[in-house]
Chains A and B, each alone.
Chain A
């Protein structure tokens, strides 16, 4: 099993004391990268849920700088203590509440401590209380105090309650920490000798806009905060009245004159508040340099701004290319890092502001206008090379190697500069890779501006030299007049492709390999239209070629039309589904065709081409369908239905898993295996061929599986596992279950709707104690649905129908 595709930017990264390592939260683990090579050195494994924060125990003497200890907190409700040089888990503190953020002020200010008895170490946690019943509409997110030494929560200490889980920010001296709460900023002072019941003083600073981020000055009492409109507020000498004066930092103007507080709102405890405005959108990054002379800010523009704190002068690091998320400084003044939303961490050389190295991961999912969220468009897989490709925000397609967990290359699809803050005007709607991975086709839609200038483009690409990248070969403007393209499919062996449109026609394109290379340019391999077809002017919604390429199946809304692609001859029509079909696929070399439709009556159907009829269908919302190239298996990723009956019974079992992968054999309507998965929405599924070279020593038994199933979830995390090995150890992302009744009981047609599930199927259902089969409310609505040959003989049908009527009436009578 291979896992990968982790997000590097879920939480702020932290430098080690010697600034040679960077600790990055990557899902359930903490990955440690070398700052000199930007390669991963090691990994802290142990948490069972997302790691939310890392706190490195700082060193105060040069000799202790090589010490590598850190605390981590996670959504699994534990705080763990590690030696990350080995790496080794030292201690676990179980809080039993999901922790969103953690700060430990105690370790930052141990300068004055003598070597005697170590005092209790306290952490402040931002948690979510999950055990509150629904009848209490209270806020469940709290800031709590935790005694790490004794591994318990400080009783009764609730510092604040917030609407959203908030990130706790701490000053580098460990004296202050705070959270933002909408338009307010709560700041607490940590007293020198903390104990469990110690009173904690708090001040609140107000602003008129929602605050997004804030930072404490390392030495002075200055706090800087950014808001959603892009303003940066600097409060100077906050908390002078409330907090203790013993530190003597601000003994200058002791006079507390109300008039001399420019910019400070109401009764806020600060001397002055200045506002800087450069960012046009919300400020996401705010950090002081370690000497306190500069303030760094960044946001959606992808520009890092350096403010000179005294003068307000600016310097810029532009063209980072992606919205900034976090900024981390190290104890080495010449090294810092900035995290971007395209899952990259850039290491910056500080005074000159140049990017030394980049640590990059899989590109994170980006939002596209909802109407362009096709089923086929999210992920494409190169099954032989083990690549996954998907759209990125900057009009590129990233090709990511699943086996190596690294980016292979990127292909820029549109000639358009990407500015993170620009409006989206072009969307790559579709992308398809030919089965051998040598050709790619993409479709893009340019949005009309004020109703003018919308354009649909179809592009064909051929793979470049050394199979790195793709080169544009043909561009077709408005291939189906004004209509949008619904699907593209490549012929498995020949240079042929089909594109179907919502405008009611499909076109078969062929790559002409003319050998007129002497007079023309070299290898003029342009694609031209080979044939056009339509079926009753119905919108064509999906298209696919069979494994040998002799049959072309195109869905015309609810029916499937079968064509001979060479001669452009319609061979057969198979009908029909309740909703338009959005996905079609042949299952390997078999005669079966699987279709998926979406909508209120989403449906997954298997069609037999020899009988020209439907074999079976489930009422399932299929997110993705994957078929083995040479086999009879296919896998379907579905979203679990959100019926209340189900959730109550299976909540504990499924625990946050909202999808299921069903592995079917074409012969049988009962899935061979079922895995429950998390974040299935927007996920993808594919069978990946394994060759010995790419699947290095990861095979334990020495035998290679024919194909691995790759599941990539909505957050672009992926896992590759062997679907056939039933004894396999369980991937944590994927939980296998016995074949159970995922199949919604209301979704059966014909036979199943009347007689219920098949007997053996029932037995398994009972074993696993899932929701019993409840008779649906109106069986006659589904009884007669489906093709006539699926229906049982009228004699049986009649009695069942009448019985169902009787059943319906009994409760009415009893009422």
Chain B
């Protein structure tokens, strides 16, 4: 499991990346489900499986096999469903080539002693129709993948072949012995020869388009890129430096019409489990490109002197290219006992660290998750109870909106009273018990909810005509004909009030009283309305049960204000005198008007007096007095 062990690992992803096969040298092959991160199945001791005895179970392998190479390919020639028959082709140190049908869990075919001295490499083209295997005997054999027949065998080198690869279209073979040789796969003619690596080549691949070969040898801290053009040139066209020797290579070359994404993408894993990623527009640029690294870092609670090995990235696959200069890389990382799988999007130039947690290695996935959650409730999880939820909300909207509302009141001319009334009504209905002393407070509290609607109206978006049904809105519609701020002749006022049905008039009265008490609207405007309503709908209002309370409060406030009237009048008289002295030429018209209005209302009062009952009479008198 140590970092050094990555070298001896055999790993491969299934073509559709939903499974991952790993063999760590003990002769067993584990198939991991990359989606769930669980072991799907395990192959051990395949060779001793006796196919004649139907019911015998393969024993846990004591006769382990020394696998040397591993390749997963899918057979999709006829059927649409390619997942169904995927083969895992294995080469052994004793020279056998095996194919496992992964989904059936069976040995599909086996070629014994294909390459005496050991199979060193297995490769196949993308369609998977035939497999090439190379061995230490310098031969390359061509195998039919579906049945396991040996189709042909030829000598590619006098020395042992250390690595071999087939281009994606299956037409060109590359072998690495002492030299790097490029062969035509059909007639085995040599196309090109390169100087090659001094040591044994560990991995070698073709790019998608078959124009380049990437290779890296044991102990060499670089990847060599060779260009296949048929020329006599023997040296590598480009060298990509790494800090540690590479154990795995993958590349993607996109040069189709999509100019944004086009370029060369190269992926490599070094011996210590760090993933390198290069991207360049073309080969010339690739030479100067700095690699982007993907590495695994431990969560800090994990002690460094832990006996086990450090987690590494041990397999990766370049899945595709999403954006220019960045690739989708599917990596398997962590410990070999419990690898984790993740799709990482690598952008060229930004190094990535994958965090890894150590849970779930000894425990099955689900249990560890549960126990963690149990702990989480204690420390990591925030819990809010009923009161908490309520407390958290209050400060922010209330203060903020209240101020805003006040400002808006001062400079908005879109009759806010109407909305106010509407909302006050809501508040009223909620806090019936709230007495007039608390009234001010309750109104303030409500403002913060009310101003939301008000603001929207100020934005001119909310139109009352749209929602006709809602009950409280009906009331607000009742205001329609009434604009409080306007100076209306009392007759019109009376006409408007008398057109209101008694129930609504009562509601309106309540609103107006609250408004007046809260001083949200000038008494100048409100009081005539209160008066008119009291006059016109006295019968109904008296019949309402809580009206006495309402009227009481009205009475009290009028009284309290009434006491101040005398002194106010004196003050205003004094002021008037001063004003008149200061500005003799022009008298304040509003003052006159004001006085005039008072007169009028007094007239009305006299007119009506015989109609009213005592209590209302009283009220209206005071209220009208109060108007001054």
Taking Cβ atoms with an 8 Å cutoff, the residues of A that contact B are 18-20, 34, 36-43, 62, 65-66, 332, 334, 401, 404, 406-410, 412, 415, 464-469, 471-479, 481, 507, 521-522, 524, 526-534, 536-538, 558-559, 562-563, 567-576, 612-613, 691-693, 696-697, 787
Contact = CB atoms under 8 A, between A and B. Distances in A.
A569 B456 contact: yes
Contacts of A567: 400-401
B103 A573 contact: no
Given A37-B105, A43-B81, A571-B461, A477 B54 contact: no
Nearest to A66: B54
Interface string B4-16: 0000000000001
Task: Kindly list the 5 A-B residue pairs having the minimum CB-CB distance in the complex, ordered from nearest.
Answer: A526-B382, A36-B105, A37-B105, A39-B103, A529-B392
A517 to B, nearest CB: 12
A530 B396 contact: yes
Contact of A572 (B385, B396, B426, B456): B456
B432 interface: no
A207 to B, nearest CB: 38
B401 A524 contact: no
Contacts of B473: 536
Given A406-B36, A691-B322, A528 B82 contact: no
Contacts of B453: 570
B483 to A, nearest CB: 22
Max count, chain B CB within 10 A of own CB: residue among A408, A521, A569, A696: A569
A65 B382 contact: no
Nearest to A570: B452
A457 to B, nearest CB: 10
Contacts of B426: 536-537
B104 A41 contact: yes
Contacts of B400: 567
6 contacts: A66-B54, A406-B18, A415-B373, A476-B383, A481-B386, A569-B401
A55 B340 CA distance: 41
A202 B6 CA distance: 70
Contacts of A575: 466-469
Nearest to A698: B80
Interface in B337-364: 340-343, 355-357
Contacts of A43: 81, 84
Nearest to B58: A36
A407 to B, nearest CB: 7
B41 A38 contact: yes
A507 B393 contact: yes
B455 A570 contact: yes
A527 B382 contact: yes
A529 B393 contact: yes
B381 interface: yes
B470 A415 contact: no
Contact of A37 (B102, B319, B393): B102
B461 A612 contact: yes
Nearest to B37: A468
Contacts of A407: 35-36
Given A36-B104, A559-B470, 12 more contacts: A38-B41, A334-B55, A401-B35, A415-B377, A472-B380, A474-B383, A476-B385, A532-B393, A536-B426, A536-B472, A568-B397, A691-B322
Interface in B455-498: 455-456, 459, 461-463, 466-470, 472-473
Contacts of B31: 37
B63 to A, nearest CB: 18
A477 B105 contact: no
A526 B393 CA distance: 14
Nearest to A471: B376
Nearest to A330: B55
B261 to A, nearest CB: 11
B41 to A, nearest CB: 4
A251 B385 CA distance: 75
Given A407-B36, A507-B393, A474 B341 contact: no
Given A570-B456, A571-B456, A476 B35 contact: no
Contacts of A20: 54, 104, 106
A530 B357 CA distance: 33
A409 B386 contact: no
Interface in B320-345: 320, 322, 328, 330, 340-343
B466 A528 contact: no
Contacts of B466: 573-575, 612-613, 787
A231 B383 CA distance: 47
B462 A573 contact: yes
Nearest to B18: A404
A19 B55 CA distance: 8
A34 B103 contact: yes
Contacts of B16: 696
Interface in B199-227: none
A477 B104 contact: no
Contacts of B320: 691-693
Contacts of A558: 469
A521 B36 contact: no
B36 A465 contact: no
A572 B461 contact: yes
B40 interface: yes
Given A478-B389, A528-B392, A531-B396, A408 B381 contact: no
B467 A576 contact: yes
Given A34-B103, A534-B449, A569-B456, A524 B382 contact: yes
Contacts of A538: 470
Given A18-B54, A40-B84, A568 B401 contact: yes
A557 B295 CA distance: 53
Interface string B80-101: 0110110000000000000001
B35 A408 contact: yes
Nearest to B471: A536
Contacts of B459: 571
A792 B297 CA distance: 69
A467 B382 CA distance: 21
B374 interface: yes
Contacts of B328: 691, 693
A37 B463 contact: no
B379 interface: yes
Contacts of A477: 383-386
Contacts of A569: 401, 452, 455-456
Contacts of B397: 531-532, 568
Contacts of B383: 474-477
A87 to B, nearest CB: 10
Contacts of B40: 37-39
Contact of B381 (A475, A478, A507, A574): A475
B102 A472 contact: no
B189 interface: no
B467 A529 contact: no
Interface in B18-76: 18, 31, 33, 35-37, 40-41, 54-55
Residue of A37, A41, A558, A612 ringed by the most chain B CB atoms within 10 A: A37
Contact of A465 (B41, B102, B357, B373): B357
Given A332-B55, A404-B18, A474 B382 contact: yes
A294 B518 CA distance: 86
B369 interface: yes
Of residues A43, A528, A533, which shows the largest number of chain B Cβ atoms within 10 Å of its Cβ?
A528
A753 B143 CA distance: 72
A408 B33 CA distance: 10
A412 B452 contact: no
A38 B452 CA distance: 60
B437 interface: no
B370 interface: yes
Contacts of B462: 570-573
Contacts of B456: 569-573
Contacts of B390: 529
Interface in B389-428: 389-390, 392-393, 396-397, 400-401, 426
Contacts of B104: 20, 34, 36-37, 39, 41
